[in-house]
Amino acid sequence: MDKIFFCKVLLALCLLSFTEAAPKHALITHLPGFNGTFPSEHYSGYVTLDEKHGKNLFYYFVVSERKPSEDPVVLWLNGGPGCSSFDGFVYEHGPFNFQAAKTHGSLPQLHLNPHSWSKVSNIIYLDSPAGVGLSYSNDPNDYETGDQKTASDTHTFLLKKWFEQYPEFLSNPLYISGESFAGIYIPTLASEIVKGIDIGLKPVLNFKGYMVGNGVTDNVFDGNALVPFAHGMGLISDDLFEAVTSACNSSFWGSINDRCSELLAKVDEDIMALNIYDILEPCYHNPEAKETEIVDVKLPSSFRKLGETDRPLAVRKRMFGRAWPFRAPVRDGIVPTWPQILNSGSVGCIDDKVATSWLNNDAVRKALHSQQENLTWELCTDKLSYNHDLGSMIPYHKNLTAWGYRVLIFSGDHDMCVPYTGSEAWTRSLGYKILDEWRPWFFNDQVAGYTQGYDHNLTFLTMKGAGHTVPEYKPQEALAFYSCWLAGQKI
C-alpha cells in the first residue's frame, strides 16, 4: 500500500514539475458539475492575436494523463464553418462524459471519460476562427474571414502565442486533428506550418502530421459521393442507380441535364427521411419528440443498434427534414453557416442543450477564465462571413504527404453528409502505391472497420457503424485507432 501511495505521489510531482512553466492564471482548479479529481492538469483562456482589434482565440488545454513530457500535442478543430471545438470536448473525446441535468435549472453532471483522447495525448481544443464559440474580436470586420486567413491566424496562435506560454511542450510531436469542415482547416494550417518551418520561423514546431475525420475535401469527389453510397447501402434500387449513373454520366453535381436532375430528385426522395449524419440513427420531428416516435426509418432496429454507444450522454438526436442539403459539396466562395441554413429551412440538426447550458453558466465561465460580457456560447455561430478561397484540398494533401508528413483520413461508414465513398476515392486518386491492402481492423477481436495503407505515410480508415462524428458514436474504437496511429503502430 505504501508503495502504491509513493508511486502516486511521485507521478504527481513529475506532472507538476513538467508543467511548472505553464501560465498559472490559466490553470483550471475546478469545474461546476464535476466533483472528482482531475486526472491531469487542465488550462484554458485566451490568446490575443491582434491587440489593436482585440482579436482573441479561446482554447482549452488538457495535459496528457500518461506521459505529458513525451506524448504528442494534438490540436483539435471542429468544422462548420463556425462551429465550436467544444463539440469535440463535450460530445466526442474530451476528458469528461456529460450527463444531462436532472432538474430544470441545474447543471449537467460531469464524470471522467474512460475513452478520452487525453489518455494518450496532450490535446488543445481551439475555437477558431474569431467569432466561433468563446473566441471573439472587438472589431466585427474580423468576422469576415476565409480559408487562408483562418490558417494564418491559427498558425500565429500556435507559433507566436501558445507555445510561448507552454514552452515545455515545444519538443513534443505536434499533430492536428478534426472533422467535417476541418477537412479545409487542417491541410491549409498544416501547409502554413510547413512553410514556416522551411523558411526558418522560430520557434520551430515539431510537426509530424494530421488526421481528418469525414472531412470536406474537394467539390467533385464530395459531390459525387452520395449516389454510390446510397446504392452501396441498399437505400436506392439497382434500376435507379443504373439509370441515374447513365443519365448523369457518373457526375451527380454541378451542371446536369434535365433527365439527370429528374433522377437525382428520385434519389433524394428515397433517402430524405433518413438521418444524413448516420443512417442507422432514427430521425425526429422535433426536439421534444419521444425516442419511440421514429419517423419513416427504413432500416430494421437490429441494424440501428450498430450505432449505439455506451456513453452516459446518448448520441445526439437529429431532427427529420433539418440537415445539410443532399449533394451539396462546399463550393468556392462564401459558405453558409449552420444558423443561416436553419433560416433557409434546412439546418445541421444538432441537439446541443447540454453544452449550451453548461458553457453559458456564469460559474462555468468563471472557472474557464472567460467572463466577457455579451458573449453567448453557441455550438455554431452566424457571426461569420466565411469565404472558401483556397479551392480543392487534394493538392495540399498531395504536397504534405510527398514531404513525408503522416496523414490519417478516417470515415464513419454510415455518414451520408460526407460519405466514406468520397474520401476513399480521393485518397486513391493520389496515385500512391498501396502498401497495406484493404483489410479489416479489429477491436476486442471484432471487426471495427476497414483500412488501406499507402506509400508516403497515408492511411485511409473506416469505422463500422459510426456516423459523421466518429468518436461520438464509437468512443472505445476511436481511442484505439487514435492511440495506435499516434504511436506509429499498425492499426
Give residue 167's pLDDT band: very low, low, confident or very high (50, 70, 90): very high
Range 285-290 average pLDDT: 46
- State which of 289, 324, 349 marks the end of a domain: 349
Average pLDDT, the chain: 87
Residue 344 pLDDT: 41
192 and 225 co-located in one domain: no
Q: What nine digits make up the cell of 369?
A: 477564465
198 and 236 co-located in one domain: no
- DSSP strands (E only) in 238-350: 283-284, 318-319, 333-335
What domain count does the chain have? Answer: 2
Residue 342 covered by a domain: yes
Residue 22 covered by a domain: no
Check residues 19 and 357 and name the one with the higher pLDDT: 357
Q: What Rg value do the Cα atoms of the chain yield, rounded?
A: 22
Residue 225 pLDDT greater than 60, yes or no: yes
- State which of 349, 375, 398 marks the end of a domain: 349
61 and 201 co-located in one domain: yes
C-alpha distances (whole Å) from 346 to each of 194, 322, 324, 385 are 38, 5, 6, 18
332 and 429 co-located in one domain: no
206 and 62 co-located in one domain: yes
Amino acid sitting at position 190: A
Give residue 289's pLDDT band: very low, low, confident or very high (50, 70, 90): very low
412 and 443 co-located in one domain: yes
Give residue 334's pLDDT band: very low, low, confident or very high (50, 70, 90): low
Residue 170 covered by a domain: yes
Q: What nine digits make up the cell of 390?
A: 483556397
Task: Look at residue 380 and give its three-state secondary structure.
Answer: strand
317 and 169 co-located in one domain: no
Percent of the chain residues topping a pLDDT of 90? 75
Give the number of C-alpha atoms closer than 13 A to the C-alpha of residue 44, restricted to the C-beta side.
Answer: 24
Range 315-338 average pLDDT: 48
Percent of the chain residues topping a pLDDT of 70? 82
Residue 204 pLDDT greater than 70, yes or no: yes
Q: What nine digits make up the cell of 6?
A: 509513493
436 and 393 co-located in one domain: yes
Residue 306 pLDDT greater than 60, yes or no: no
468 and 413 co-located in one domain: yes
Q: Which of 179, 83, 177 is nearest to 415 (CA)?
A: 179
How far is the C-alpha of 70 from the C-alpha of 15, rounded, in Å?
Answer: 12
Check residues 120 and 333 and name the one with the higher pLDDT: 120
213 and 224 co-located in one domain: no
180: domain range? 27-218+388-487
Residues 5, 6, 7, 13: is their CA dihedral positive or negative? Answer: positive
Residue 471 pLDDT greater than 80, yes or no: yes
Residue 403 pLDDT: 96
211 and 260 co-located in one domain: no
Q: Are 470 and 450 in contact (CB under 8 A)?
A: no
CATH code, domain with 155: 3.40.50.1820
Residue 349 pLDDT: 43
Residue 378 covered by a domain: no
Residue 111 pLDDT: 97
Residue 98 covered by a domain: yes
Per-residue pLDDT reduced to its tens digit, 431-468: 999 999 999 999 999 999 999 999 999 999 999 999 99
Residue 54 covered by a domain: yes
- Grid cell 460559474 is found at 363
How far is the C-alpha of 472 from the C-alpha of 454, rounded, in Å?
Answer: 27
Residue 314 covered by a domain: yes
Per-residue pLDDT reduced to its tens digit, 72-131: 999 999 998 999 999 999 999 999 999 998 888 899 999 999 999 999 999 999 999 999
Window from 126-130, 163-167, 368-372, 415-419 with minimum mean pLDDT: 368-372
Residue 345 pLDDT: 41
- Grid cell 490558417 is found at 151
How far is the C-alpha of 234 from the C-alpha of 371, rounded, in Å?
Answer: 50
Residue 228 covered by a domain: yes
CA dihedral 131, 136, 137, 143 (to 10 degrees): 0
Per-residue pLDDT reduced to its tens digit, 6-61: 444 444 444 444 566 789 999 999 999 999 999 999 999 999 999 999 999 999 99
- State which of 349, 379, 408 marks the end of a domain: 349
Residue 281 pLDDT greater than 50, yes or no: yes
412 and 456 co-located in one domain: yes
Per-residue pLDDT reduced to its tens digit, 403-413: 999 999 999 99
Please give the positions annotated as active site. Answer: 180, 415, 468
Residue 20 pLDDT: 66
